[in-house]
Amino acid sequence: NAGVTQTPKFQVLKTGQSMTLQCAQDMNHNSMYWYRQDPGMGLRLIYYSASEGTTDKGEVPNGYNVSRLNKREFSLRLESAAPSQTSVYFCASSPGLGLTDTQYFGPGTRLTVL
């Protein structure tokens, strides 16, 4: 039982390049999330998917797109990377039952945009 997995672990991009961050969970969770973590700031929500087939914007969605491919997988795409998107990206999942909905996190992707 791997929990939440993310690929790649590290990535360096040049400004304007595109890439997709992959996330998968094996806990049969309904909800999945993408966060970014920057120095001196708490985790900030980029996008979330409450259930398979739905996605919604979070606090900082500009410059990103997401796809909930199936119940297990939730990807984050940067169409034209900018230096301001240099950050550590975390995927999380939760049961999504509308009760106390604990989020469980992946190991993160460390992205640098030059």
Partner 1 sequence: GESVGLHLPTLSVQEGDNSIINCAYSNSASDYFIWYKQESGKGPQFIIDIRSNMDKRQGQRVTVLLNKTVKHLSLQIAATQPGDSAVYFCAENIVGTYKYIFGTGTRLKVLA
17-46 residues near partner 1, rule: CB under 8 A: 31, 33, 37-45
Contact 113, 107 (CB under 8 A): no
Site residue total, partner 1 (CB under 8 A): 28
How far apart, in whole angstroms, are the C-alpha atoms of residue 96 and residue 64? 23
Contact 76, 46 (CB under 8 A): yes
2 binds partner 1 (CB under 8 A): no
Least separation in angstroms between residue 98's CB and partner 1 is: 5
Binding mask 50-89 for partner 1 (x = CB under 8 A): x-----x-------------------------------x-
Least separation in angstroms between residue 17's CB and partner 1 is: 21
Q: What ranges make up the beta strands (E) of 1-114?
A: 4-7, 10-13, 19-25, 31-37, 44-49, 56-57, 64-68, 74-78, 87-94, 104-105, 109-113
- Contact residues: partner 1, CB under 8 A: 4, 31, 33, 37-45, 48, 50, 56, 88, 90, 98-108
